[in-house]
Amino acid sequence: MSSKADWKTILEPVNPDSNEPLFFTKHEWETVEAIAARIIPTDHDPGAKEARAVVFIDRYLSGISYIFASADGSGFLEIDGKHAHSWRARISDLQKIYREGLLVVDEVSKSTYSKKFVALDNDSQDAVLVKVSSQPKPGAVNLGTTEPATTFFQFVSDDGLPFWPAICLHVKQGFYADPVYGGNKNHMGWKVIGFDGPESLKDTMDGTYTTADKFTGDYNWGDLIPVLANQSNFPVPVKSEGLYN
Amino acid sequence: MTSKVKPAPVDVVIVGLGANGGTAAKVLSEAGLKVVGLERGPWLKNDKHYSGDELKFVNRNYMWPDSKLTPRTVRRSETEVAEPYPFSMTPQLVGGGTNHWAGWVPRPRESDFMLRTLHGDVDGASLADWPFRYDHLEPYLTKIEWEFGVSGIAGADKTEPFRSKPYPSMPLPPTRWGKKFYDACNKMGINAFPIPHASVTNGHKDRNPFNRTSFWNQYGDPSGARSNTATTFIPEAIATGNFELRSEAFVREVVVGKDGKATGVIYVDEDGAEIQQDAKVVILTLGAIESARLMLMSKSSKFPEGIANSSGLVGKNATFHEYLFAIGFFDKDIDDPVYGWAGNYISGGTMDFYETDESRGYIGGSITASSQTCHPINMVFPGRPLWGQALKDSDRTFFSHAMKIGLILHDLPQEANRVDLDPNVKDYMGLPVARITHKAHANDVAMGKWQVDKNVEILEMAGARKTIPVYLDQMTGNTCHQHGTARMGFDPAKSVLNEWCQSHDVENLFVLDGSGFPTATGVNPTLTMMANAWRCSDYIADYYLKGREMRLEQPK
C-alpha cells in the first residue's frame, strides 16, 4: 500500500475525439450526449456536445483510473490503498445511479412521446428533462434585483447526489475541467465564458501561466488607503515594488 | 497485526502537523529538544503534487479528507440522530490547513480576549475571558509574521492595536474587483486596506514566490509564495536534526500512566502496525474537532470520560465561524470586467464593523473582505441555473463580471454546541467519528444579517447591478475554523486547559490548536493559533521541561 505522496502516474491525457466507450453502452453514450446537449446547449458558441462532455463522463464512470490527473497533466494518478477502496465504492454507486437514471429518461420519453430520448426534438427533450428533474426549466438571471440565499458548503462533491443533479454537475465539469480529463476540448468551454486559463496544468506549476494582467496596474496605496497619511510609525509605500511576475 | 520495534522515547511527541503542530515542531526542536511529529495524512510536496486543477482540488477532494473514510456527523440538537456531513473537513496532511488556505492572517483585537468582561452574561451563551491579553500575544504575532512570512501594509488598518514591527513583505497589488472595493469604501468613509496574507511577494527567507495563477483558495501552491508549514516551519525543524516526522501515522489514543501523567501515544502506521511512542510531553494539534475526539477516545480507569476531562468540558463550547457573503454582478454590456475569478482570493478588506455597536442589535463583529468568485466549475453564484440556455447565458454574462464581499462570522460559544463521539458511525479504522451538535445563537444570525446587508451596500456603491446576499440559517462548517473544545482558563472546574494550554488534569499534556480558545474571535484564527502555539511551546521548553513553573495573574 502506498501513500498518496507516492502514487504513480499512469496512462495519458484522455483523447476527446474518442468514440469508444469504456463504461457506457452505445445507447447510453448517445443518450448522455443528447442530455449534455440540453444541459449546456449549442448556440452561436459551442456547447457540451462539441466540448465532449460525454467522453469526460464515460472515463470518470469507468473505474478509478481517471479520477485525479497527475499534477502536470501528463497522465493520471494510480490511486492506492484505502483511497482505492473508497473510490471504487463511490464510482460503483455512480454507475448504478447513471444506469437507472438513463432508463428513467427513456421511460419518460416513451410514455410521453412513444420514442426514445435520442429521437426527440430539442423542445420535447427539454420537456422530458423537466419531468425527470421534477422542477421547472431554469429561467434567465436578470440584473436589477436582489435575491437572498442562505449559507452553503464551499466545495461540491457528487457524494449522495441523485441522477439529475449528478449529471448536471458532471456536464458542467466536462465543459470546464482541464482538458486532460477528456472534456473541454481545446479549452472550448473556457473560451465561451472568457476564462483565460492555462495552456496546460504544467504551466501552473512553474510560473509560465500568470494572471498578473488581471490585477490593477494603475494604483497608489496612499490613494486607496487615505489613513496611511495620518500615521507616522511605519513607511508609506506608493506601490508594491519588486513583485514576482 | 504486524509488530514493530518500539521507538525510543523522546522529549516531545506532537500529534498533527498542521499550522500549530508545525509551529511547535520548529520552536521545540530549535530549543534543542528531541521531537517526533505524527501526522495521519501524507506528506505531499508543493512543487511535485500541486497545480491549478479545479476538478481535482475543489470537486474530487484530492487534498481534503475522503468523507467515506473519515466521515463526520452533524445534528442541531440533543434529540436528533446526527447525519453524515462533511463539516469543517480541514485537510489532514503535513501542513494541514495551510495547504489549501487562502491565507488571511489578520491580527485579533484587544476586545477578543475579554468578551465576558465587556458584555457580562449573554442569554444562551457561555462567554468567557481568555486567561491572557493581546499584549501577551503581540511579540508572538510578530514572530509568526516574520518567520512564517506574511504580507501587508503596517498602519493601513486604523483599528489595529499596537504592533512592534511592520510586515516582512508587501502585498500583491489590488485586483480589479479589489479596486472596486477600495473605491466604494472610500466613498462611504470606510477604512479599507489589504488583508494581511500568509504569503510573500519577495525573496524573504530565501523563498521563491511565483504563483500568480489565481488558483488560490482550496488549491495547494506549487511555488514558495503562500506560507505553508510544510514548506517553512517543518523543513526548518528537520534541519535542526532534532525532529523526526512520521506521516501516515494515525494516533488513536493518548496513554496515561499510573502517576496520572501521559506516557505517550499509540498510533497505527501505514502498514497497519500499532506502535507506542513514549515522550515526556504530549502535544495535541489535530484541530479542535479531532483533538477533542482523540481526548474523548483516550479513556482509562483514571479518566473514564476521556483524558483530561474531569471538568466534563472536553468537546463543549465549540465555535466554528461561518463564511457569509454577498455577490455583486455588473453589466457586461456597460461595465468593464472585474475578473472575479482572478487574484489571490482576497484583496481589500476592513475591520470597521468589528467592535460592538449595540444599536445594530448584536454584540461583537466580523472581519469583512472582498474576494474571488472562483473558477468556472465552482463559480460562487447562488441561484446559478442548473441547466439549459439560462445556465450557458448566465455563465457567459457574469463569469468575468462578478465579485464577492464576505465575512467571517464571530459565533458565540454555547455549552450545548459540542463535539463528541458518534455512537453509530465509525471511520475506516473502526473508531467512532466526531459528532457535531450545533445550533446557531440569535446573536450569530443577527450579526450575519447586518454584516451581509453592509456588504450589499458596499457592492451597490461599487456599481453592482444585481446582488445576492447569503445569510446564516445554520452553520454548515464551510470554514476550517474550529475552536473552544478544550477551553483555557484559570479554574479547573470551568476549563480544560490553563493559560499555557496545559491540561489542568494531566500536567504533561498540552493542546496547542484552537481547542483552547474560550471565544472564537471575528478574525481568521490561524495567526492567533500559531502565535499562541509558539508562546506555549516557549513555556514548555523554558519552564515545564526544566522543572519550573510560571503562572500568569488573572488579567483585570
Domain count, chain B: 2
Q: What Cα–Cα distance (Å) separates residue B390 from each residue in A39, A130, A136, A139?
A: 9, 14, 12, 6
Q: Are residues B227 and B365 in the same domain?
A: no
**Are B98 and B230 spatial neighbours (Cβ–Cβ below 8 Å)?**
yes
Record: contact B191-A225, CB cut-off 8 A: yes
pLDDT score for A155: 63
CATH number of the domain residue B535 falls in: 3.50.50.60
In B427-539, the DSSP E strands lie at 432-437, 466-471, 509-511
In this structure, how many other beta carbons lie within 10 angstroms of the beta carbon of residue A219? 17
Q: How far apart are CA A51 and CA B38, in angstroms?
A: 45
The SS3 assignment for B262 reads: strand
Task: Find the angle CA(B381)-CA(B385)-CA(B387) to the nearest 5 degrees.
Answer: 135
- Cβ-based contacts of A221 with chain B (< 8 Å): 153, 156
The residue to which cell 492595536 is assigned: B161
Domain count, chain A: 1
Record: contact A194-B343, CB cut-off 8 A: no
Residue A107 lies in a domain: yes
Show which of B421, B452, B474 is a domain's final residue: B474
Residue B515 lies in a domain: yes
What is the per-residue pLDDT across B357-380, written as a single tens digit (0 to 9) for each? 999 999 999 999 999 999 999 999
Range of the domain at A102: 4-140+155-197
Residue A103 lies in a domain: yes
Residue A93 lies in a domain: yes
Q: Are residues B281 and B375 in the same domain?
A: no
Q: Are residues B450 and B491 in the same domain?
A: no
Distance from CA of B387 to the nearest CA of A (A): 5
Residue B16 lies in a domain: yes
pLDDT score for A244: 76
* Mean pLDDT confidence for A140-158: 84
Q: Are residues B359 and B269 in the same domain?
A: no
Q: Are residues B246 and B139 in the same domain?
A: yes
Q: Are residues B24 and B108 in the same domain?
A: yes
Range of the domain at B376: 157-195+322-409+439-474
What is the per-residue pLDDT across B188-242, written as a single tens digit (0 to 9) for each? 999 999 999 999 999 999 999 999 999 999 999 999 899 999 999 999 999 999 9
Interface probe for B, chosen from A224, A232, A234, A243 (most Cβ of B below 10 Å), is A224
Burial B221-260 (b: 16+ CB within 10 A, else e): bbbbbbbbbbbbbbebbbebebbbbbbbbbbbbbbbeeee
| Chain A, chain B: beta-carbon pairs less than 8 Å apart | 321
- Cβ-based contacts of A140 with chain B (< 8 Å): 385, 389-390, 393-394
Record: contact A211-B51, CB cut-off 8 A: no
Q: What are phi and psi of A164, to 5 degrees?
A: -65, -55
What is the per-residue pLDDT across A161-216, written as a single tens digit (0 to 9) for each? 999 999 999 999 999 999 999 999 999 999 999 999 999 999 999 999 999 999 99
Residue A222 lies in a domain: no
Q: Are residues B119 and B168 in the same domain?
A: no
**Are A25 and A15 spatial neighbours (Cβ–Cβ below 8 Å)?**
no
**Are B392 and A47 spatial neighbours (Cβ–Cβ below 8 Å)?**
yes
Residue B206 lies in a domain: no
Q: Is the ipTM of this complex over 0.90?
A: yes
Tell me: pLDDT of B355 over 90.
yes
Q: Are residues B60 and B174 in the same domain?
A: no
Q: Are residues B265 and B124 in the same domain?
A: yes
pLDDT score for A154: 59
Q: How far apart are CA B117 and CA B128, in angstroms?
A: 8
The SS3 assignment for B481 reads: coil
Type of residue at B409: L
Residue A123 lies in a domain: yes
B494 by Cβ neighbours in 10 Å (0-12 / 13-18 / 19+) ranks as middle
Record: contact B179-A72, CB cut-off 8 A: no
Residue A31 lies in a domain: yes
Residue B102 lies in a domain: yes
What is the per-residue pLDDT across A24-76, written as a single tens digit (0 to 9) for each? 999 999 999 999 999 999 999 999 999 999 999 999 999 999 999 999 999 99
Residue B412 binned pLDDT confidence (cut-offs 50, 70, 90):
very high
CATH number of the domain residue B371 falls in: 3.30.410
